[in-house]
Structure 1
């Protein structure tokens, strides 16, 4: 199975790995078939919008992943993609966007990107439900 250099870089040197001590929201998802487990902790901030209202945005995100190289890499790159994004913008990141950012994944590993997206959406949903 061939991985892109970006996948290997994120696997060997994952970005934003760890935990947030008091997260605004957390979520964990798993794939019972392959055994991958992804957990995201979000720190949500507020910032002014042009119209004078405030919007929620991802101030920080950390991940913990137990799984294959692809699962770790998609978690790492997704955190890079969503830090600083509004919750609305972050919710629009697709699994295809993640795969593209990594210069591709083997077809058998695409589910890892879907799992990371599912986890992020679940964490955002948990945050919005708590407000």
Structure 2
């Protein structure tokens, strides 16, 4: 995918991933390998955490739709190679926390996904998401 077209977002909010909407992916080992690498990458790229969490829920039985979602993340990363976390010097120690959740957004088990971001001044210091 070295010559792919870059995307501006790591996932499409319109596409709801499910176990039964697509035929099985031809190479589950390749899928698991790439998704595992993406999960490791979330330590330094918090902007892909939610999208990786969504596809990681299907590593046991990936479909073609899950593979397409994975390729969207890779295309987003291709366009943001030079992005990263920047810690700026700040005299402000203001603590800000932002969170969000979808209510029963999973089509398979109707569980919610939530996430948060914690800032000290203008610096992102902690983040996470969970189902």
TM exceeding 0.5: no
TM-score (norm 1): 0.27
TM-score (norm 2): 0.27
Compare CA radii of gyration and give the structure with the larger one: 2
Q: Which has the higher contact order (CA 8 A, sep 6+)?
A: 1
Higher-helix-fraction structure? 1
Higher-strand-fraction structure? 1
